[in-house]
């Protein structure tokens, strides 16, 4: 019997509706388990997956692997928020900000990020929000625990890298002074590494980092087992004390080609807005540092310090730093004079220096600032004397109690208008945006070390110095045989390495013996309008250009044999006068060339050598880029 067409159509429609009602919830549930985030076609792309109650995060760039799917989760004493999670909801927003810094790779910053907040819960009702951000140069995530779930016992966070990814790693130390060495992700020895680790995959370069670390949490390092590409987050504390809702630091992946990673300000961009409203007193600058120049004796001698002030004034260097010894008992070492406030010659030195236009920065041990009573004694006194800044040393910890001390000392030094240089310290992790009076931090195997290699020096611009100012203290010409580089490379470090207080570590005699280096130091700024990588490969070469006004300063450092270095002059169109300081047969020599933007700058580099330079717009009659 024939079936009416109307009946057939009705049956088909009913079947289609039934199928849609059956499959739509399944598709929605499947879609809810995978989330993607990116700011553009060529920007890094984050992919978050919830699979059988467990979260993972992967990062790609242009369809190529940056970070393989990696575990995400946190465990507290009351809840395991790394498994058995169910998705609740998602909230998206765009982060658009502009801010200005007092130091760093460039003073004016623009932030554009996409953010997604994914909310999850366990069967028992414990809540976890995973906040993920993506920008043109990075991906980051953090955990937010909206409720109180007790102390944190650890994270399951890790980063899975392709086994054959090139890796530049620094062995973890409490003072963050491990040297960077190249491995592959899998062949690196079993151990703990600094969280500022650089990897090269098919998707480009990625620097692992951390941002917005405070005393509410604990510092991170990377734990690795040889034979795998997995690097787990290990915290400095076995238990992180918390008594309410918690927001953790950002786990950041600075991602792109090498030039993008090098000039990135991603970790600063993630950090909270400045907590210092009046920043007019915060002034970066170059510093005559007297520790490697004069040692213990200089630290206890007013006459020696006045002589250093005289030299800084002659050179128009804005600061002189007095290192350890100034508040110790005369003739004794590391014995604090109990009457230092009345016996100290520091007020006389500050007055002497002020009359010559030089500001004084003083070294002080962290143990002298450990309690509220000690800080109430030291900080107001230093401010009253007119000291411009403090170099605080020997924190040597990223455990929660020490981070809480950082929170306190940052606020109190700002209140007393004291610039800060941290030594024996954590690394920046966004601190310079939130607290702009922090001019620099050590956290590096710097000039004081006697075991540095040329490869280590050429890796620092791509690792430690990416995330903030680095007090390497270049310029120690007198330490011949104790450093792995040439004199011209030592001059170039003042630009290759950025520091809001750029401490020159040599002796006045060593500068006078090298007038070209001394003249270059007279010109080099400590604050920059822009930064560009001109040429580089970690462990082999690093050539950076930093702009101040209409002049570009160039710093190049190299490892390996002598060569003719070829550097693309990618500093803008037009004709440029380029003056370089290079190693010659009998010492430093100056070369001058007129080149067009985009031309190749050729420099003769000795083994373990480098160069420094200044490029300024050329026009007829211009014979030098140096200015009085």
Q: Give pLDDT tens digits for 375-422.
A: 999 999 999 999 999 999 999 999 999 999 999 999 999 999 999 999
In-domain check, residue 15: no
pLDDT at 28: 30
pLDDT at 13 over 80: no
Q: Domain containing 485 — which CATH number?
A: 3.20.20.70
CB 160 within 8 A of CB 233: no
Tell me: do 42 and 178 sit in the same domain: yes
CA distance 193 to 223: 6
Q: What is the reported pLDDT for 32? A: 57
**143 and 263 housed in the same domain:** yes
CATH number at residue 217: 2.70.98.10
> How much of the chain is in helix, strand and coil states, percent to nearest 5?
25, 35, 40
603 and 474 assigned to the same domain = yes
Answer for the pair 170, 180: CB distance below 8 angstroms, yes or no: yes
- 305: pLDDT strictly greater than 70: yes
- Whether residue 303 is contained in a domain is answered as yes
User: How many domains does the chain divide into?
Assistant: 3
Q: Which residue has the higher pLDDT, 41 or 32?
A: 41
Picking from 508, 606, 482, the residue whose alpha carbon sits closest to that of residue 556 is 606
Same domain, 523 and 539: yes
What is the C-alpha to C-alpha distance for residues 411 and 395, in angstroms, rounded to an integer? 17
Tell me which residue has tokens 């792309």.
Answer: 45
Residue 331's pLDDT is: 87
Domain ends where: 270, 296, 320? 270
Q: Find the mean pLDDT for residues 497-507.
A: 98
Give the C-alpha separation, 327 to 131, whole Å: 47
Flag whether 501 is in a domain.
Answer: no
Residue 107 token pair = 């003073």
pLDDT category at 333 given cuts 50, 70, 90 is confident
Is 628's pLDDT higher than 90?
no
User: How far from the centroid of its chain's Cα atoms is residue 63's Cα?
Assistant: 28
Q: Closest by alpha carbon to 232, among 327, 161, 312, 141?
A: 161
CA–CA gap between residue 381 and residue 373 (Å, rounded): 13
Q: Assess whether 281 and 265 both reside in one domain.
A: no
Tell me which of 5 and 315 has the higher pLDDT.
315
Predicted confidence band of residue 295 (pLDDT cuts 50, 70, 90): confident
Q: How confident is the model at residue 486 (pLDDT cuts 50, 70, 90)?
A: very high
- Shared-domain flag, residues 174 and 257: yes
pLDDT the model gives residue 326: 97
Over residues 232-247, the pLDDT tens digits come to: 999 999 999 999 999 9
Report the pLDDT value the prediction gives residue 296, as an integer from 0 to 100: 87
Same domain for 258 and 343, yes or no, is no
**Which pLDDT value is given to residue 139?**
98
Catalytic residue ranges = 393, 448
What would the mean pLDDT of 471-489 be, rounded to a whole number?
A: 96
**126 lies in some domain:** yes
Percent over 90 (pLDDT), the chain? 93
Q: Is residue 371 included in any domain, yes or no?
A: yes
Structure token digits, residue 427: 């690394």
pLDDT in tens, 15-37: 433 333 333 333 333 445 999 99
180 closest CA partner among 455, 565, 433: 455
C-alpha dihedral sign at 400, 402, 408, 410:
negative
pLDDT digits (tens, 9 = 90+) for 442-453: 999 999 999 999
How confident is the model at residue 20, as a pLDDT? Answer: 34
Report CA torsion sign: 280, 101, 93, 212: negative
Query: Which of these ranges, 293-297, 345-349, 583-587, has the smallest mean pLDDT?
Result: 293-297
The mean pLDDT of the chain is 94
* Domain presence at residue 545: yes
Residue 159, sorted as left (phi over 0), alpha (psi -120 to 50) or beta, turns out to be: beta
Domain end point (choices 270, 305, 340): 270
The separation between the first and the last C-alpha atoms of the chain, rounded to the nearest angstrom, is 106
| Pair 113, 228 in one domain | yes
Whether residues 365 and 407 share a domain: the answer is: yes
Q: Which of 112, 471, 472 is CA-nearest to residue 265?
A: 112
Q: Which domain holds residue 541?
A: 452-496+511-628
Show the tokens assigned to 163.
């086994």
Query: 25 versus 142: which is more confidently predicted?
Result: 142
Residue 105 inside a domain? The answer is yes
Residue 464 has pLDDT above 80, yes or no: yes
Is the pLDDT score of 549 beyond 80? yes
Instruction: Give dist(CA 504, CA 112) in Å, integer.
Output: 36
**Last-in-domain residue among 443, 461, 487:** 443
With a CB cutoff of 8 Å and minimum separation 6, the contacts of 34 are 47, 48, 49, 50
Are residues 278 and 198 part of one domain? no
| Confidence (pTM) | 0.93
Beta strands in 341-457 (DSSP E): 359-365, 389-393, 419-422, 438-441
136 found inside a domain:
yes
pLDDT band, residue 3 (cuts 50/70/90): very low
What is the biggest distance separating any 2 CA atoms in the chain, rounded to whole angstroms? 119
Query: What is the rounded distance in angstroms from the CA atom of residue 297 to the CA atom of residue 309?
Result: 16
Q: Residue 9 pLDDT more than 50? A: no
Whether 12 shows a pLDDT value over 80: the answer reads no
Shared domain for 303 and 338, answered yes or no, is yes
Residues 461/545, Cβ–Cβ less than 8 Å: no
In this structure, of 53-67, 290-304, 426-440, 531-545, the range with the lowest mean pLDDT score is 290-304
pLDDT one-digit tens code per residue, 201-214: 999 999 999 999 99
184 and 296 within one domain: no
On the question of pLDDT at 7 being above 70, the answer is: no
Nearest-angstrom CA–CA distance, 469 and 569 = 25
- Per-residue H/E/C for 588-619: EEEEEEEEECCCEEEEEECCCCEEEEEEEECC
CA 93-98-104 angle, 5° bins: 120
| Torsion sign, CA atoms 530, 528, 105, 432 | negative
């Amino acid at each position: 019997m024939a079936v009416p067409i109307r009946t057939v159509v009705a049956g088909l429609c009913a079947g289609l509706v039934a199928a849609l009602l059956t499959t739509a919830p399944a598709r929605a549930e499947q879609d809810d388990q995978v989330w993607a985030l990116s700011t553009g076609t060529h920007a890094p792309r984050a992919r978050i997956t919830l699979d059988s109650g467990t979260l993972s995060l992967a990062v790609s760039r242009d369809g190529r692997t940056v970070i393989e799917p990696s575990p995400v989760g946190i465990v507290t004493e009351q809840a395991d928020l790394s498994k058995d999670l169910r998705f609740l909801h998602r909230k998206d927003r765009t982060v658009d900000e502009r801010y200005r810094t007092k130091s760093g790779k460039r003073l004016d910053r623009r932030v554009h990020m996409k953010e997604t907040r994914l909310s999850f819960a366990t069967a028992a009702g414990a809540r976890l929000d995973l906040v993920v951000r993506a920008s043109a140069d990075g991906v980051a995530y953090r955990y937010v625990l909206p409720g109180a779930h007790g102390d944190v016992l650890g994270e399951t966070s890790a980063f899975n890298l392709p086994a054959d990814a090139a890796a530049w790693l620094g062995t973890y130390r409490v003072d963050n002074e491990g040297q960077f060495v190249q491995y592959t992700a899998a062949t690196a020895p079993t151990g703990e590494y600094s969280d500022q680790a650089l990897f090269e995959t098919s998707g480009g370069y990625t620097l692992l980092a951390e941002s917005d670390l405070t005393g509410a949490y604990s510092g991170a390092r990377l734990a690795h087992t040889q034979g795998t590409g997995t690097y787990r987050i290990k915290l400095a504390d076995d238990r992180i004390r918390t008594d309410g809702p918690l927001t953790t630091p950002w786990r950041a992946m600075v991602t792109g080609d090498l030039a993008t990673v090098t000039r990135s300000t991603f970790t600063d961009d993630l950090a909270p807005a400045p907590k210092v409203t009046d920043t007019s007193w915060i002034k970066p600058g170059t510093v005559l540092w007297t520790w490697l120049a004069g040692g213990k004796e200089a630290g206890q001698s007013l006459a020696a310090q006045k002589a250093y002030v005289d030299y800084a004034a002659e050179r128009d260097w804005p600061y002189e730093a007095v290192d350890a010894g100034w508040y110790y008992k005369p003739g004794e070492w590391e014995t604090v004079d109990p009457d230092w406030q009345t016996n100290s010659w520091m007020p006389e030195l500050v007055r002497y220096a002020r009359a010559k236009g030089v500001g004084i920065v003083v070294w002080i041990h962290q143990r002298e600032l450990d309690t509220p009573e000690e800080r109430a004694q030291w900080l107001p006194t230093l401010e009253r004397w007119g000291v411009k800044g403090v170099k605080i040393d020997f924190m040597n910890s990223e455990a929660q109690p020490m981070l809480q001390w950082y929170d306190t000392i940052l606020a109190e030094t700002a209140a007393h208008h004291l610039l800060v240089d941290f030594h024996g310290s954590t690394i920046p992790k966004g601190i310079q945006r939130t607290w702009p009076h922090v001019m620099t931090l050590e956290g590096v195997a710097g000039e004081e070390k006697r075991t540095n290699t040329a490869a280590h020096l050429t890796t620092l611009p791509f690792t430690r110095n990416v995330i903030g100012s680095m007090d390497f203290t270049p310029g120690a010409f007198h330490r011949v045989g104790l450093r792995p580089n040439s004199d011209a490379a030592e001059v170039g470090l003042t630009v290759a390495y950025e520091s809001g207080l750029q401490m020159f570590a040599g002796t006045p005699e060593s500068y006078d013996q090298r007038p070209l280096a001394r003249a270059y130091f007279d010109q080099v700024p400590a604050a920059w309008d822009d930064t560009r990588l001109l040429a580089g490969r970690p462990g082999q070469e690093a050539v950076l250009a930093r702009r101040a006004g209409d002049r570009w300063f160039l710093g190049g450092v190299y490892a390996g044999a002598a060569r003719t270095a070829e550097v693309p002059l990618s500093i803008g169109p037009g004709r440029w006068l380029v003056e370089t300081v290079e190693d010659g047969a009998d010492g430093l020599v100056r070369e001058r060339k007129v080149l067009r933007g985009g031309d190749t700058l050729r420099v003769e580099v000795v083994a373990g050598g480098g160069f420094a330079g200044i490029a300024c717009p050329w026009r007829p009659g211009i014979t030098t880029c140096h200015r009085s």
